[in-house]
Each structure stands twice: as C-alpha cells, then as structure tokens.
Amino acid sequence: KFLLKKPNGAPASPRQTNPRMEGAGAQTKADQRPVLEEDTFEILYEMSRIMNCGLDRQTLSILISLCESGVNPEALASVVKELRRETAALSMESQDDADEKR
C-alpha cells in the first residue's frame, strides 16, 4: 500500500498530487488517498527515526503492510527483536572466528 503510484502508474509525489498545493476540489477523494497514505507513511518513518528504531523505509513499509494484513504488531515486534539479536550474535561469532585465524 505504501509503495505509492499515481493512477497512470507513475510514482506519486507530494508536490505533484498534494491537494493542499492545488485549487480546492481539483481532485477526487480517490486521487487524494495516495497523498494521505504517503503523508502518513512519512510521519511514521519520521517517528521511527526519532525513536531510533533502526528501520529503513523499505523495512518499515513491509512491517506496515504485514500489520495491515492482520499480523499481530506485538508478535511482529518480537520477531524483529529476535532477528536483530540473532544477527548480532552471528556477527560476533564471525568476528571471533576471524580473530582466531589471525
């Protein structure tokens, strides 16, 4: 949902489609929805950045899509935390192995 496209398939841009930038009534509600979704995504991304969540835009988009599909957000957060722990542990193991080979 957050990989936004304009009706003609081109990527949406807030400067091109934002109803606040154009005359009132120039767009239908269907045309405005991608702009609202893009604005919402940008707010969520900024909040995630401020809270140092360590999520890039693509990862955040995937997580939001999973939540919208009905995945339990708390369970999803637990999985993300576990994957980060496992990644850190594997990274430390590979660094230890590299140090032993020297």
Distance of CA 97 to the CA centre of its chain: 34
pLDDT computed for residue 15 by the predictor: 39
More confident residue, 64 or 18: 64
Q: What is the pLDDT of residue 47?
A: 96
CA distances from residue 37 to 51, 55, 80, 95, 101 in whole angstroms, order as listed: 21, 18, 24, 42, 51
Instruction: Write the pLDDT tens digit of every residue in 8-60.
Output: 444 444 433 444 444 545 556 566 667 778 899 999 999 999 999 999 999 99
For residue 63, how many other CB atoms are within 10 A of its CB? Answer: 20
Residue 4 host element (H or E): none
Output the pTM of the full model. 0.59
